[in-house]
Amino acid sequence: MLLIFLALIPIKIIRIIDGDTFKGVIEPDTLTVRLIGVDCPESRKNTKAYNDAEKSMNDIETMVAMGEISKVKYGVGD
């Protein structure tokens, strides 16, 4: 497991995956970064989204819509 302290190392964000995960470049490597302590709704229908919907008593469409809201777009590829 690779731990990187992003506050100390500049990283170029190239893709936002969802509200708590992104891809970035620290030359010469491309990394997938998952933010610890952040739990955003899923932006796609998957097992976690269905489980979260059941726990929160929301329908799956609402959960995915909330996931899309939590997904910030910076004009990079999706």
Note the pLDDT tens digit of each residue in 37-46.
888 888 889 9
Helix (H, G, I), strand (E, B) or coil at 16: strand
Residue 6 pLDDT class (50, 70, 90 cuts): low
Q: 66 pLDDT exceeds 70?
A: yes
Locus of tokens 């929160």: 56
What is the rounded CA–CA span in Å between residue 24 and residue 47?
A: 26
Helix, strand, coil share (%) of the chain residues, nearest 5: 25, 25, 50
Question: Which pTM value belongs to this model?
Answer: 0.63
The per-residue pLDDT for 44 is: 87
